[in-house]
């Protein structure tokens, strides 16, 4: 028997009903281990078509569904904090409204959360459909590596995580750090001693748009990046040297042209994938990730945050949801 758990799915007016239906079916109906509660946070008013979709899901759901309506679009962090408060259980799984969960996702993750505070997994990026795979993200799995890498990038793929609510609340919840809520939360959890587990196996198909690389930079994201790095330094999560390094490397990455980001990302994805397939060879590498490792793993942090950058920069104070 697994520990009962809730599934947390934020929705906003920019989501597509067909994507939501598929995400819901994959994470509920098609799972070998189904959630015991689904929480849908409706972040602000939605158009009639989307409201009908949510009503349909509530009626047809094979498990209890809790709809949490928010009077206005407040952004991902505040929406997820509202969802945490509505959960019946300590164990909570995250899911985005346009991704697709593999049928065995929770069957793999739930045994691991029995002795952990947060569990993440790999994911596959897809374009038009799940047979159009355009990339793969493999997170670090060694506990020491997870903590070391967290000082420069998010070591978890946010749409894949399962965590314990008490550990999230002890770290202050998601809060409201636009575009960087998940990374900031996970860093606080790790700094507070949270037990972390990652599995390399991909358990979620992650939808990427054609303009994803264009949204992985710009002044809006740079401002959030600098705010995040200042928080890390203030809390003692990073040293002054690490702060300077992160601002230069991560901040610089936000400012280069989008086509250059795409070229760098794709070439280094291939390099890092080859290294993973080859396995360890020779003496251990340096304690800190090198440029190639960061350029690959930095993408672990960006998808959730960057997909709603477009709306955030157009309407200050409002975050787009994935």
Q: What is the pLDDT of residue 291?
A: 34
Tokens of 253: 């990455």
Cα 288 to Cα 277: distance, rounded to the nearest angstrom: 21
What is the rounded (10 degree) CA torsion for 163, 79, 40, 165?
Answer: 20
Residue 4 DSSP label: P
Cα 239 to Cα 257: distance, rounded to the nearest angstrom: 29
Cα 126 to Cα 202: distance, rounded to the nearest angstrom: 12
Q: How many CA atoms are closer than 13 Å to the CA of 291, on its beta-carbon side?
A: 6
- At 93 the three-state DSSP class reads strand
Tokens of 204: 């979620």
Query: For every one of its 322 residues, what pLDDT tens digit does the chain have, with 9 covering 90 and above?
Result: 789 999 999 999 999 999 999 999 999 999 999 999 999 999 999 999 999 999 999 999 999 999 999 999 999 999 999 999 999 999 999 999 999 999 999 999 999 999 999 999 999 999 889 999 988 999 999 999 999 999 999 999 999 999 999 999 999 999 988 888 999 999 999 999 999 999 999 999 999 865 555 555 567 778 888 999 999 999 999 999 999 999 998 877 677 665 565 555 555 544 544 454 455 444 444 334 333 333 333 333 333 333 323 323 333 345 445 5
Tokens of 299: 């993408």
Element at 209 (helix H, strand E)? none
Q: pTM for the whole thing?
A: 0.82
Q: What is the pLDDT of residue 256?
A: 66
Instruction: Give the ranges where 38-142 is alpha helix by DSSP (H).
Output: 48-60, 76-86, 105-113
Q: Are 204 and 161 in contact (CB under 8 A)?
A: no
Q: Tens of pLDDT along 62-97?
A: 999 999 999 999 999 999 999 999 999 999 999 999
Q: Can you give the residue ranges of every domain in the chain?
A: 5-314
Cα 2 to Cα 133: distance, rounded to the nearest angstrom: 31
Q: Which residue has the tokens 């047809």?
A: 60
Q: Are 78 and 176 in contact (CB under 8 A)?
A: yes
Burial of 292 (0-12, 13-18, 19+ CB in 10 A): middle
Q: Which residue has the tokens 């946010």?
A: 158
Q: H helices then E strands: how many in the chain? A: 12, 9
Q: Are 41 and 72 in contact (CB under 8 A)?
A: no
Q: Which of the four CATH numbers 3.40.50.720, 3.30.450.20, 3.40.50.1370, 3.90.550.10 does domain 5-314 have?
A: 3.90.550.10
**CA distances in angstroms from 137 to 28, 269, 295, listed in the order given:** 23, 9, 12
Query: What value, to the nearest 5°, has the Cα angle with vertex 145 and ends 166 and 108?
Result: 55
Q: Tens of pLDDT along 190-207?
A: 999 999 999 999 999 999
**CA distances in angstroms from 148 to 144, 151, 187, listed in the order given:** 6, 6, 11
Burial of 104 (0-12, 13-18, 19+ CB in 10 A): middle
Q: What is the pLDDT of residue 20?
A: 98
What burial letters (b/e) apply to 128-161, b meaning 16+ CB within 10 Å? Answer: eeeeeeebebbbbbeeeebbebbbbbbbbbbbbb
Q: Report the largest interatomic distance among the alpha carbons of the chain, rounded to a whole angstrom.
A: 60
């Amino acid at each position: 028997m697994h520990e009962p758990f809730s599934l947390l799915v934020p929705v906003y007016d920019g989501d597509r009903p067909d994507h939501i239906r598929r995400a819901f079916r994959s994470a509920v109906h098609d799972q070998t281990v189904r959630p015991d509660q689904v929480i849908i946070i409706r972040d602000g008013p939605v158009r009639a078509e989307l409201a009908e979709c949510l009503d349909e899901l509530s009626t047809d759901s094979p498990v209890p569904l809790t709809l949490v309506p928010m009077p206005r679009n407040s952004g991902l962090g505040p929406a997820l904090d509202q969802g945490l408060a509505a959960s019946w259980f300590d164990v909570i799984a995250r899911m985005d409204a346009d991704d697709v969960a593999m049928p065995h996702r929770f069957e793999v993750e739930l045994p691991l959360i029995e002795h952990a505070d947060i569990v993440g997994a790999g994911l596959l990026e897809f374009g038009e459909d799940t047979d159009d795979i355009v990339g793969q993200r493999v997170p670090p799995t060694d506990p020491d590596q997870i903590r070391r890498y967290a000082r420069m990038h998010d070591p978890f793929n946010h749409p894949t995580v399962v965590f314990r609510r008490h550990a999230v609340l002890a770290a202050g919840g998601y809060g409201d750090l636009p575009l960087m809520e998940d990374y900031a939360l996970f860093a606080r959890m790790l700094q507070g001693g949270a037990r972390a587990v990652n599995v390399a196996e991909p358990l979620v198909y992650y939808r990427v748009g054609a303009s994803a690389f264009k949204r992985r930079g710009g002044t809006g994201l740079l401002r959030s990046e600098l705010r995040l790095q200042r928080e890390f330094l203030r809390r003692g999560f990073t040293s002054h040297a690490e702060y300077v390094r992160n601002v230069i490397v991560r901040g610089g990455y936000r400012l280069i042209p989008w086509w250059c980001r795409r070229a760098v990302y794709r070439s280094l994805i291939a390099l890092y994938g080859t290294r993973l397939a080859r396995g360890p060879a020779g003496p251990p590498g340096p304690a800190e990730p090198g440029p190639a490792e960061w350029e690959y793993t930095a993408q672990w942090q960006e998808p959730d945050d960057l997909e709603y950058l477009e709306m955030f920069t157009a309407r200050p104070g409002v975050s787009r949801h994935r």
